Amino acid sequence: MSENDTFKIHFLPNDKIVEIEKGNTVLDAAHKSNIYINSICGGDGICGKCRVILSSGKIDAPATKLLSSEEAEKDYILACEARVTSDLQILIPKETRLEGKKILFDQNEQHSLTWNAILNKAQFKHDSLVKKVFLKLEPPTMDDNVADHERLCQAIMMKEGVDLNIMQTGYRILKQLPEVLRQNDWAVTVTLGHRGRTLEVVEVQPGDTSQRNYGIAVDVGTTTVVASLLELESSKVIDSEAIYNTQMKFGEDYIQRIIYVIQNEALDEMQRTIVSDINNLISTLVKRNDINLDDVTSIVCAGNTTMIHFMLGLDPENIRREPYLPAANFIPPIRAAQVGIDINRRGLLYALPSVAAYVGADITSGATAIRLDKEEMPSLFIDIGTNGEVVLGNKEWMVCCSASAGPAFEGSGVRHGMRAAKGAIEIINISKDYDVNYSTIGNIPPRGICGSGLLDCIAEMLRSGIIDRSGKFQKGIETDRLRKKEDEFEFVLVEKEETGIDSEIVITQADISNLVRSKGAIYAAVSILIESMSLSINDIHCVYLAGGFGNYLNVRNAITIGMLPDMPTSRIKFVGNTSLTGAKMALLSEEAFETVQKIASQMTYFDLMGNPKYMEEFMSANFLPHTNLEEFPSVQKELSSQNT
Amino acid sequence: MSENDTFKIHFLPNDKIVEIEKGNTVLDAAHKSNIYINSICGGDGICGKCRVILSSGKIDAPATKLLSSEEAEKDYILACEARVTSDLQILIPKETRLEGKKILFDQNEQHSLTWNAILNKAQFKHDSLVKKVFLKLEPPTMDDNVADHERLCQAIMMKEGVDLNIMQTGYRILKQLPEVLRQNDWAVTVTLGHRGRTLEVVEVQPGDTSQRNYGIAVDVGTTTVVASLLELESSKVIDSEAIYNTQMKFGEDYIQRIIYVIQNEALDEMQRTIVSDINNLISTLVKRNDINLDDVTSIVCAGNTTMIHFMLGLDPENIRREPYLPAANFIPPIRAAQVGIDINRRGLLYALPSVAAYVGADITSGATAIRLDKEEMPSLFIDIGTNGEVVLGNKEWMVCCSASAGPAFEGSGVRHGMRAAKGAIEIINISKDYDVNYSTIGNIPPRGICGSGLLDCIAEMLRSGIIDRSGKFQKGIETDRLRKKEDEFEFVLVEKEETGIDSEIVITQADISNLVRSKGAIYAAVSILIESMSLSINDIHCVYLAGGFGNYLNVRNAITIGMLPDMPTSRIKFVGNTSLTGAKMALLSEEAFETVQKIASQMTYFDLMGNPKYMEEFMSANFLPHTNLEEFPSVQKELSSQNT
């Protein structure tokens, strides 16, 4: 009954009402009211993730195969395709929402434990990028009438053993200095921040506040933003928090978001969105731990090249256009306030360096976290996130590439895929008679399958003969779990009664194809890098696998499906979110920060898209474990023993 | 006829009307309307410089001996003592005004000549603190996909031979970079500024703008502010300009101004005033030479410690309070915009370093200009301005002090004293029969006497026996020029008919006492420094005398009156405004800038006030040339030959 063709959309369970003009989609309305609706394809009507329930009202939508007839009966619609033609009430079902899913951000996280041991093991000296130093200055006399500023600098020099020449004092500090120095009888705490080759006096406070010095480490992911709060003096990780990147409303992957920015001249909006997410994380962390925002003096951010560009408001346009150039890989430290990040108003923001448009600071940070630069023998670092990046190297050299693996192991493009959050199936075991055992994160009824579960699933289906080496279902097997539905075969992992959502949890033929392509892309990238250095798989000493798979990653299964090269599992290490780990190390250790810079400047980037061999390798890897079984002798043995 | 006890004051010849409440002084009214009235004592009714003519209206004023009965008849009043009790019309006579007096700022100034020879002679390499470099970058390809920022930095490194590690790029620059680089097909001009140990990319412009790079050198004097505009690439001085420091309305000397700041919490006002003066100078210079303000990329400022504090808005309170501490002697380069100085909005401001509260950047700049740090033998640098500062040193060491000489040689505290401006008597010659020959700056009828004229005057009066060695008039001499007026003896230098003002130009007994005290203070300071290093006057190789004396300084006369030590005049050099010269050198040469820093950090400051010997030396020097004639053998000879 609205006039002017404007309609009210009432979203439940959020209970938010938004007005929108006729002809817009339900997804548009959700964006407008800042409600997150799963939408991997960014509104192209392809992924089918944005299913919502139309409780009342009328919409206009094309026919779709992405909804089952059962779903259609229950008034499920695709938010991205449903055009508004009346006032509506829309119910967003659990699986389409993100709220309430606690994201797991670091399976090795041990809060309130000091990181000294971790730094020690990584051979980094604890020396925060920004530190507080308590100084008792000698009060001036007629015989010692050194000016205020120089008196302070000399005291810093004596205590910290730094060269006076590298010290810089901001203008604002100079203006307050005479008063601050005299406020507590020449006892002051200086905040010192590394800025390139100089050491900046970031703040001077009366009295001793040296114990109140906190820093934030952030992994700015395309999908998830994770932040940790650290006590810098004691090198304790106090707390961590994660949220979904609100930029998802502009597109599920970063290329879509770059296009959005270009088409809508929306760089400012994109920057504000991620900065607001980061500020929300910081605000949550400081409030929960009763910390003053002014005592947060530094923030270190890792993330892929595009995310860092968005955060800083740097023009991302050339990232997606040949020859794929970032505005900058190396970002000088700046004041966090300059980009709108809320910490101490003079606090410093350190964005870690990228290598190229498609190998970002998450990778340089990760390579630092695992100290790839200390390896004697060539080792691999593989980070599987929204993309897959591979680094091969040792203490003398490093080569890297981006595998365009896609986010299948993050749950995208997989019917019941999800991130490693509560309710995600993270371990799957399938018996010879096709019985499925699983365990979920948080031991609650399953809501979907996370990366480690998907990996187990493929490996176990291969072992038990549910699928063959090409990833196709073996239609002859005797089980009701394998069934055909709407022209596609699917395997039921969990029956509806057992799940925490309103349906079974299945894995479809399309899901398997996606996962196989994804693992194939990674293996092909690994092969190309190894070949490029004239090495063979036998020369690889160690594989570090990073990503948000979950708590328990079965590395044997990663070999079985041919994602990782065939080698003793003892030499494969699952290392979790190394992007965040590296950011924490940099926050706590200037040496670590310098190491990230060094690694970034020394890595050689290979562009796979321009490499004709890559497509060849990819095709060969598009098999379980590989077209050439000889590359996987242990899997060959395993599979043949299984078949006997 | 005003209501509310508010009256209108009409100033002539300015033709400005200002309203002010009853009970305020005429000087207050002048301040309120921003009219400058001479007032050396800062409104204390002591100096008698603020005489104005009451054309109409009624005032309330105490009796004063500072006005002659003649003057009183002509309705002269002291602006600082006359309290407003009705609407007034006030005529400001020529001698009380400053307008229209063109200040001479640098007698060696040769506009539009390149400074290469001057830099060469001083052994400084031409390498501007802020320079523009034109670069043609290699356009990127798939095989050369270095990111924009690093592409630029590498090109700078190649062209300038600088280490990548010391380079810093501001956040604002990064934001514009992708667009700017592509605007003119990868041809750009970068503006590079030295900031401590780092080299900052201050600006990046499309195309070649490298020929449009200008800098400003400023001598921020207590009384006069002088600025030069330089073309940095060709090291040409394009133009110069000077104005009186508008802060004079808050007090004639800087201690008065500090008190004003404290009593009125007026640091911001004080800063705005000097910044506005500097902006006016810059604006005049760029307009007159048709230069774009954006092309002015740097400004170097010299000046005494207090002036630099005022300009930067640094708390000056501790400068006048034991143990006399500046907020800072060494000021890091900052953006000029941060203090409100109008050049390119990212242009850099370099404030030269001070040594102590009373030995400022004018002295370190001057010592650099004369390359005191290159002298093999101990030499003296004496700068006589509003104060007198003395430096003794050579390439190995330097000691310095402030002499509290007072501004007598700048014309203050001297009845007809004035600065070296048009109409100032700059040379005086007195014959045996007491006839006075003189010449004025600009060859116009005399309006007063500047420093060099005053110095000549004392020396010539001593030679001709008008005064004795104690500075007292010899009342027995046969001339009408010596006369007694209102209880004080005075000597008429120029008859009323010959002057450009409405009175004779005389020198009084009080004037002579002031000048003798002033020169005595300087000589005492020289003696203390020489003694402190266990040297004698014979060890002094050279004397460099700086200050605003005028174009022609008779150094022989400076010896005759005992201001400078007795030595061959060939070893005494009058060097003019070295504060400005040093600022120009620093602007053009990073090496010169570094030399100022080095000199400032190496100078040892002696506090004369706390030195009991100083008063002794001062008393001895309070004679012409000195109590101890043996210290001045050449003067002894001169005077005895004159007397025979």
C-alpha A2/C-alpha A20 separation (Å) is 10
Cβ contacts of B191 within 8 Å, gap of 6 or more: B130, B131, B132, B201, B202, B203, B204, B205, B213, B297, B344, B346
User: Do B374 and B425 fall within a single domain?
Assistant: no
User: Do B488 and B376 fall within a single domain?
Assistant: no
User: Do A242 and A302 fall within a single domain?
Assistant: yes
CA distances from residue A620 to A1, A348, A401, A524, A533 in whole angstroms, order as listed: 59, 48, 19, 8, 20
Nearest residue on chain A to B319, alpha-carbon basis? A147
Question: What does the pLDDT look like over A359-390, one tens digit per residue?
Answer: 999 999 999 999 999 999 999 999 998 789 99
Question: Are B225 and B219 in contact, with CB atoms under 8 Å apart?
Answer: yes
Question: Are A264 and A247 in contact, with CB atoms under 8 Å apart?
Answer: no
C-alpha A206/C-alpha A181 separation (Å) is 7
Q: What is the mean pLDDT of residues A613-624?
A: 95
User: Do A496 and A538 fall within a single domain?
Assistant: no
Question: Are B245 and B277 in contact, with CB atoms under 8 Å apart?
Answer: yes
From chain B, pick out residues whose CB is under 8 angstroms from the CB of A610: 142
Interface residue A324 vs chain B (CB under 8 A): yes
Q: Domain residues for A16?
A: 6-96
Residue A515 pLDDT grade (very low, low, confident, very high; cuts 50, 70, 90): very high
At B67 the pLDDT is: 83
User: Do A524 and A389 fall within a single domain?
Assistant: yes
- Partner-chain residue, chosen from B150, B171, B610, that has the shortest CB–CB distance to A334: B171
Cα–chain center distance at B53: 30
At B40 the pLDDT is: 54
- Residue A460's nearest CA partner among A488, A425, A495, A408 is A425
For chain B, first and last CA: distance in Å? Answer: 70
What residues form DSSP beta bridges with B298?
B215, B348
Q: What is the mean pLDDT of residues B37-41?
A: 64
- Partner-chain residue, chosen from A169, A323, A328, that has the shortest CB–CB distance to B140: A323
Question: What does the pLDDT look like over B316-330, one tens digit per residue?
Answer: 999 999 999 999 999
Residue A454 placed within a domain: yes
Residue B41 pLDDT grade (very low, low, confident, very high; cuts 50, 70, 90): low
CA distances from residue A380 to A88, A119, A375, A397, B195 in whole angstroms, order as listed: 52, 21, 10, 12, 41
Question: What does the pLDDT look like over A272-316, one tens digit per residue?
Answer: 999 999 999 999 999 999 999 999 999 999 999 999 999 999 999
**Among the residues of A145-224, which ranges form H helices?**
148-160, 171-183
Verify whether the Cβ–Cβ distance B147 to A174 is below 8 Å. Answer: no
Question: What does the pLDDT look like over A173-217, one tens digit per residue?
Answer: 999 999 999 999 999 999 999 998 889 999 999 999 999 999 999
- Residue B631's nearest CA partner among B493, B530, B518 is B530
User: Do A459 and A571 fall within a single domain?
Assistant: no
More confident residue, A501 or A3: A501
Verify whether the Cβ–Cβ distance A169 to B332 is below 8 Å. Answer: yes
Question: What does the pLDDT look like over B130-188, one tens digit per residue?
Answer: 999 999 999 999 999 999 999 999 999 999 988 878 888 989 999 999 999 999 999 99
Residues 348-407 of B with CB under 8 A from A: 354, 356-357
C-alpha B528/C-alpha A547 separation (Å) is 75
Beta-carbon contacts below 8 Å between A and B: 151
At A40 the pLDDT is: 54
Verify whether the Cβ–Cβ distance B314 to A174 is below 8 Å. Answer: yes
Using a pLDDT cut of 90, give the percent of chain A over it.
Answer: 73
At A500 the pLDDT is: 86
Nearest residue on chain A to B177, alpha-carbon basis? A327
Residue B13 pLDDT grade (very low, low, confident, very high; cuts 50, 70, 90): confident
Residue B634 placed within a domain: yes
C-alpha B591/C-alpha B34 separation (Å) is 41
Minimal CA separation from B414 to chain A, in Å? 34
| Interface probe with B: pick from A181, A315, A606, most Cβ of B within 10 Å | A315
Verify whether the Cβ–Cβ distance B322 to A142 is below 8 Å. Answer: yes
From chain B, pick out residues whose CB is under 8 angstroms from the CB of A317: 178
At A103 the pLDDT is: 54
- Partner-chain residue, chosen from A145, A325, A356, that has the shortest CB–CB distance to B148: A325
User: Do A260 and A142 fall within a single domain?
Assistant: no
CATH of the domain at A181: 3.10.20.880
At A108 the pLDDT is: 46
Interface confidence (ipTM) of the complex? 0.85
From chain A, pick out residues whose CB is under 8 angstroms from the CB of B328: 147-150, 169, 174, 177
C-alpha B506/C-alpha B416 separation (Å) is 7
Residue B264 placed within a domain: no
- Partner-chain residue, chosen from B147, B196, B315, that has the shortest CB–CB distance to A329: B147
Q: Is A149 exposed, middle or buried (0-12, 13-18, 19+ CB in 10 A)?
A: buried
Block residue for tokens 């470099």: B133
More confident residue, A519 or A108: A519
Residues 300-319 of B with CB under 8 A from A: 312-315, 317-318
Residue where one domain finishes, among candidates B476, B500, B524: B500
At B386 the pLDDT is: 79
More confident residue, A84 or B4: A84
From chain A, pick out residues whose CB is under 8 angstroms from the CB of B313: 175
CATH of the domain at B39: 3.10.20.30
At B2 the pLDDT is: 43
User: Do B47 and B184 fall within a single domain?
Assistant: no
Structure tokens at A542: 């160690």
What would the 3-class secondary structure string for A50-105 be?
A: CEEEEEECCEECCCCCCCCHHHHHCCEEECCCCEECCCEEEECCHHHCCCCCCECC
What residues form DSSP beta bridges with B114?
B236
Block residue for tokens 């207050």: B28
Residue A330 pLDDT grade (very low, low, confident, very high; cuts 50, 70, 90): very high
| Interface probe with B: pick from A143, A163, A198, most Cβ of B within 10 Å | A198
User: Do A87 and A224 fall within a single domain?
Assistant: no
Q: What is the mean pLDDT of residues B345-370?
A: 97
Residues 195-234 of B with CB under 8 A from A: 195-198
At A100 the pLDDT is: 39
| Residue A640 pLDDT greater than 50, yes or no | yes
| Residue B260 pLDDT greater than 90, yes or no | yes
At B70 the pLDDT is: 82
Residue A1 placed within a domain: no
Residue B330 placed within a domain: no
Verify whether the Cβ–Cβ distance B328 to A169 is below 8 Å. Answer: yes
| Number of structural domains chain A divides into | 5
Residue where one domain finishes, among candidates B153, B173, B206: B206
| Interface probe with B: pick from A142, A149, A271, most Cβ of B within 10 Å | A149
CATH of the domain at A330: 3.30.420.480
Verify whether the Cβ–Cβ distance A314 to B198 is below 8 Å. Answer: no
Residues in chain A: 644
Q: What is the mean pLDDT of residues B402-424?
A: 87
Question: Are B293 and B343 in contact, with CB atoms under 8 Å apart?
Answer: yes
Residue A351 pLDDT grade (very low, low, confident, very high; cuts 50, 70, 90): very high
Q: What is the mean pLDDT of residues A507-512?
A: 96
At A604 the pLDDT is: 96
At B43 the pLDDT is: 64
Interface residue B268 vs chain A (CB under 8 A): no
Question: What does the pLDDT look like over B44-95, one tens digit per residue?
Answer: 666 677 889 999 999 998 888 778 888 888 899 999 889 999 999 999 887 7
- Which residue type does B604 have? T
- Residue A137 has what DSSP assignment? P
Verify whether the Cβ–Cβ distance B327 to A140 is below 8 Å. Answer: no
Task: Return mean pLDDT, chain A.
Answer: 91
Report long-range pairs for B259-267 (Cβ below 8 Å, ≥24 apart). Answer: B259/B320, B261/B310, B261/B316, B261/B317, B262/B317, B267/B310, B267/B313, B267/B315, B267/B316
Question: What does the pLDDT look like over B92-131, one tens digit per residue?
Answer: 887 776 543 455 554 445 455 678 888 999 999 999 999 9
DSSP result, A319-375: GGSTTT--S-SS---EEGGGGT--SSTT-EEEEPPPSBTTB-HHHHHHHHHTTGGG-
Residues 144-163 of B with CB under 8 A from A: 144-150
At B422 the pLDDT is: 82
C-alpha A527/C-alpha A392 separation (Å) is 10
From chain A, pick out residues whose CB is under 8 angstroms from the CB of B356: 145, 147
Residue A109 placed within a domain: no
- Partner-chain residue, chosen from A140, A150, A195, that has the shortest CB–CB distance to B329: A150
| Residue A14 pLDDT greater than 90, yes or no | no
| Residue A34 pLDDT greater than 80, yes or no | no
Residue A110 placed within a domain: no
CATH of the domain at B374: 3.30.420
At A533 the pLDDT is: 96
User: Do A48 and A138 fall within a single domain?
Assistant: no
- Partner-chain residue, chosen from A178, A196, A327, that has the shortest CB–CB distance to B317: A178
Using a pLDDT cut of 70, give the percent of chain A over it.
Answer: 94
Interface residue B168 vs chain A (CB under 8 A): yes
DSSP result, B247-283: GGGG-SSHHHHHHHHHHHT-HHHHHHHHHHHHHHHHH
Residue A118 placed within a domain: no
Question: Are A421 and A102 in contact, with CB atoms under 8 Å apart?
Answer: yes
Residue A47 pLDDT grade (very low, low, confident, very high; cuts 50, 70, 90): low
At B39 the pLDDT is: 63
User: Do B63 and B13 fall within a single domain?
Assistant: yes
Q: What is the mean pLDDT of residues A549-571?
A: 92
Question: What does the pLDDT look like over A222-258, one tens digit per residue?
Answer: 988 999 999 999 999 999 988 889 998 898 889 999 9
Task: Return mean pLDDT, chain B.
Answer: 91
Taking each helix axis from N to C end, the angle separating A305-312 and A254-264, rounded to the nearest 10 degrees, works out to 40
Question: What does the pLDDT look like over A253-263, one tens digit per residue?
Answer: 899 999 999 99
At B330 the pLDDT is: 96
Minimal CA separation from B179 to chain A, in Å? 8
What residues form DSSP beta bridges with A77?
A52
Verify whether the Cβ–Cβ distance A327 to B141 is below 8 Å. Answer: no
Structure tokens at B580: 């400005």
At A1 the pLDDT is: 44
Verify whether the Cβ–Cβ distance B313 to A175 is below 8 Å. Answer: yes
Residue where one domain finishes, among candidates B42, B75, B96: B96
Verify whether the Cβ–Cβ distance A318 to B178 is below 8 Å. Answer: yes
From chain B, pick out residues whose CB is under 8 angstroms from the CB of A607: 142, 145
User: Do B393 and B530 fall within a single domain?
Assistant: yes
At A587 the pLDDT is: 98
